[in-house]
Amino acid sequence: MRIALRHTSLCAAAALLAAAGTATAQPSGSITIWSWDIAASSLKATVEGFNKLYPDVKVTVEDIGNQPVYDKSIAACAAGGEGLPDIISIENYKAESYWTQFPDCFADLKTLGYGAEDAARFPDFKRAELEHDGKVYAMPWDSGPVMMFYRRDFYEKAGVDPASIKTWDDFIAAGKKIQAANPGVVMSEANFNGDSEFFRMIANEQGCGYFSADGKAVAVAQPGCVAALAAIRKMKDAGLLAPANWDEKVAANGAGTVATQMYGGWYEGTIRTNAPKLAGQWGVYPMPGVTADGARAANIGGSSLAISASSKSKEAAYAYVKYTLATNEGQVTMLKAYGLVPSLLSALEDPFVSQPQPYWGGQKIWTDILATLPKIHPTHGTQFQNDAESVVRAVQTKFLAGSYPDAKAALDDAANQIAAATGLPVAP
């Protein structure tokens, strides 16, 4: 009997130890995240749902601004990871400048449980810049499928049906009518003084980027990019594009002085939260193409979440990243609250996606926006993205001021400058 009792006691002790082991396997501790603007607000919105599953993890989201996140994290990586938070928000087009310069600064998510099944849940164009030398450095977050956000009332007053706008020439013709019918309103705005956003969107639509698909050559002078820059010049010369930075665009949206803004789907939240009194007066339609039967999809912006290699709470950080980005609940929470477009493919089937949106005049905007995702061309920023961007901005300014005979000459010059700065050859 003693032997039996002792055996029973040992079994009970083993069961208690097993239970204790299971309990301690649950992540705990504190994690800190660096992010910015509505991205930071969106991460904060997922904490409540995350803590229902992981109550012992304290999540702190620090909104320190877009450029400061990049500057501080790059500086910290250069210092061996000192001062980094557990999780960092990284824009996709800047991502490769991290991995290629500092391959040991971030955790390989494969070592934390990320596998082929996880990768298959995201579109290729979102993963292309996050994987390097067999490692997965970040998990896709939001996407930026490009759409035209337009004022219904301005278009209606001019008798313009957005469904009739299929090409950039159509956009120009419509813009002239809209501006004539709505004095004081400009057709659209672009940050010509501090960005190349319009160019990058149309170039991506045409399957062209600063670099080749393998990242080994400078491709900015390829035909798709030339067509993009030429279209921009044509719009600007027609008086349809006013120069404006981010804050000026937000102000114009609320003031009713712009008819159309071209941006990624995440801009939905920017308009809705900054111009609440204009509910029902905004809508969306696909970006025009160079030709009537050509491509009409592109991506701009969109980010990922990476875990620093120096984090002392990698398991807790990974649990948060996986809940926020790899569950429908996490992604749709951010979509509902701030309009961040999910990269998670299964989230696109959530019932919310197909619902009419009251702010947007009852339009099922998420069905329209997300339908473009499979058509988007992947692009590579490479570690030379910032070098290329600086060159393109300067060349764009000179081109729009008439310093080049045509778009091809301008981009040939840009390609040669980028090649000289990076050591990469110009693609034939």
Average pLDDT, the chain: 91
Reduce the DSSP state of residue 108 to 3 states and report it.
coil
Which stretches within 26-103 are classed as H helix?
37-53, 66-78, 92-101
Type of residue numbered 224 = G
pLDDT band at 233 (very low <50, low <70, confident <90, very high): very high
Residues 6+ positions from 95 with CB-CB distance below 8 Å: 129, 130, 137, 138, 304, 381
Residue 21 has pLDDT above 60, yes or no: no
**Helix H or strand E encompassing 389:** helix 385-400
Residues 104 and 214 in one domain: no
Model pLDDT for residues 32-86, shown as the tens digit of each residue: 999 998 899 999 999 999 999 999 999 999 999 999 999 999 999 999 999 999 9
Q: At what angle do helices 197-205 and 223-237 cross, to 10 degrees?
A: 130
Residues 152 and 255 in one domain: yes
Residues 250 and 384 in one domain: yes
Q: Residue 284 domain-assigned?
A: yes
Residues 269 and 323 in one domain: no
pLDDT band at 97 (very low <50, low <70, confident <90, very high): confident
Nearest to residue 271, comparing CAs of 286, 254, 285? 254
pLDDT at position 357, please?
Answer: 96
Strand segments (E) across 92-159: 131-132, 135-136, 139-140, 142-143, 146-151
Which stretches within 130-245 are classed as H helix?
152-157, 168-181, 197-205, 223-237
Nearest to residue 361, comparing CAs of 272, 234, 260, 425? 272
Four-residue CA torsion sign, 95, 392, 35, 269: negative
Q: What whole-number distance in Å separates Cα of residue 344 and Cα of residue 304?
A: 12
Domain termination site, one of 349, 368, 387: 349
Residues 82 and 206 in one domain: no
pLDDT at position 193, please?
Answer: 80
Type of residue numbered 375 = K
pLDDT at position 8, please?
Answer: 37
Residues 151 and 266 in one domain: yes
Model pLDDT for residues 159-171, shown as the tens digit of each residue: 999 999 999 999 9
Residues 35 and 184 in one domain: no
Model pLDDT for residues 277-331, shown as the tens digit of each residue: 999 999 999 999 999 998 999 999 889 999 999 999 999 999 999 999 999 999 9
Residues 78 and 138 in one domain: yes
Residues 225 and 267 in one domain: yes
pLDDT at position 12, please?
Answer: 41
Q: Residue 13 domain-assigned?
A: no
Residue 178 has pLDDT above 90, yes or no: yes
Domain containing residue 395 = 146-298+376-422
Nearest to residue 34, comparing CAs of 286, 279, 305? 305
Residue 14 has pLDDT above 80, yes or no: no
Residues 277 and 344 in one domain: no
CATH number for the domain including 230? 3.40.190.10
Residues 152 and 282 in one domain: yes
Q: Residue 82 domain-assigned?
A: yes
Residue 250 has pLDDT above 80, yes or no: yes
Number of residues assigned to the chain: 428
Residues 384 and 291 in one domain: yes
Reduce the DSSP state of residue 403 to 3 states and report it.
coil
